[in-house]
Structure 1
């Protein structure tokens, strides 16, 4: 459900939302998850009015974890809909959580949310700096996208393009399609076309092959990959042969040139998250 929402695949995501809601009833964490995912989906699609309604519901259900992750969606949707009081209130709540936990990623997300509310460039700059090394790629890319959008609307074409390019490349490489389209649209508005990146790698490989390729690209051995995925080293080697054939390469070194490590494939990548 979250994956479909992040990709921006409306029909698939809406079907999953209906299925989960039918199973979960009217409350609880699963329903809060549906509203959070729906807010992400519709912010990506620039349907901010729907995103606002869904983010509100996610926060109102008051699940400690889901509410924390829904607040940045609520801030963005509210700002885009001109509901500044709602955005400011959500920002205050988000700031309380992130300042209490002190994680770099959380502080970075709060910084770009603050930029949305205040329209102050320094807040966007802080967000980009704080999220530069974050393993949570969607938030890192969102910081570039939001800063690039702000710069473009300020008439600073030359300054906005590097951020919009970074956002598009990060989103496109991760398969976060709707937000990638948002970034591409912003680039077109500056007179520049977004370049097609390594999407062909994802198209050529199965999900399992892509996951193995990303792990191997970090330097993991076949035995280490096998242990992580609960398969045999022989199966890993068979997958690698298929990967090499599909990509037209013959070594692990070449693989590193074709596939970038994905989220969760490096040490500590899952160890930092937004505070709850």
Structure 2
């Protein structure tokens, strides 16, 4: 959908809509791409006075850094999202801020944000709203009350089909259960979270969950050791054009997508092919398709 939106923006001469690309990069845990996009977005937002985009970057960095378990940085980033209060992302920034603050021992900050979150979610009154509120409250409680709140959050988020937040709740509940010395039950929730994150491609959260599973005594294979998956048709097309020596702007112009989107796809191609630069693409593509059939159609965008 992002690729299609970028193509429409390029064809009509409109500025690309950056929010979705930023959010996707953050949830995938792709720090390099997210950092580039955030830098560009902040500069653009400051120039145009777009407060909502400044608030969005705080939320986006909060997600990214919480996934990477860099809680000090996540705390500062999410706080900037809360302070900008651009309405559309401020509630989400509060959720990230509460998690980071509790991990950093900044409980007063967490309680202040929880109070604001409760005001927002009471007005929304959706399963998503009730679920993230219950989970955030659980982070600031203990004992049976915390257990009940985590279970309520999983129920609400699963029922409302907010799968990625349900996975995060399984992760946080599993972390809490392990610290409470309920290792067997912790493994159940952590396994579920790991499978969900891995399937979604939420790589940073999947790795955070894997490390937590290892702490319970369970062996979990690192994602990077699994067989790579096949390139998608668009990845094959972009890879073939890049292997010819075309620049990202040239590829983007030919395929009606942004240069940032080209770079994003190329990073996925490098990971799948086990390389780290476009110079290695010709040989890697030749190995990937020795008969010349797999990527032959990708040489020409027609």
| TM over 0.5, shorter chain | yes
Q: Aligned in 2, Cα 1:81/1:22: closer, same or farther, shift over 3 Å? A: same
Structure with greater Cα Rg: 2
Structure-to-structure mapping, 1:60-75, within 5 angstroms:
60-75=83-98
Q: Does 1:105 align with 2:128?
A: yes
Matched residue of 1:118: which SS? Answer: coil
Which consecutive unaligned segments of at least 5 residues does structure 2 have? 1-21, 236-302
How far the C-alpha of 1:208 sits from its partner, in A, is 6.6
C-alpha separation in 2, matches of 1:17 and 1:117: 30
Q: Which moved more, 1:50-59 or 1:20-29?
A: 20-29
1:20 to 41, 49, 66: 41
Which consecutive unaligned segments of at least 5 residues does structure 1 have? 210-276
CA deviations over 1:129-168 (Å, ceiling 9, x no partner): 2122332221010110000000001111101011001110
Matched residue of 1:64: which SS? Answer: coil
How far the C-alpha of 1:201 sits from its partner, in A, is 9.8
C-alpha separation in 1, matches of 2:234 and 2:221: 26
Partner of 1:35: 58
Q: Aligned in 2, Cα 1:173/1:202: closer, same or farther, shift over 3 Å? A: farther
Q: Aligned in 2, Cα 1:96/1:159: closer, same or farther, shift over 3 Å? A: same
Q: TM-score, normalised by structure 2?
A: 0.65
How far the C-alpha of 1:193 sits from its partner, in A, is 2.3
CA deviations over 1:152-193 (Å, ceiling 9, x no partner): 011111010110011101111000000011111110111112
Asked which structure has the greater RCO (Cα within 8 Å, sep 6+), the reply is: 1
C-alpha separation in 1, matches of 2:34 and 2:219: 28
Do the aligned residues in 2 keep the contact of 1:32 with 1:66 (CA within 8 Å)?
A: yes
Q: Which moved more, 1:159-168 or 1:188-197?
A: 188-197
Structure-to-structure mapping, 1:93-242, within 5 angstroms:
93-119=116-142, 120-194=146-220, 203-206=229-232
Q: TM-score, normalised by structure 1?
A: 0.71
Aligned Cα RMSD in Å? 2.1
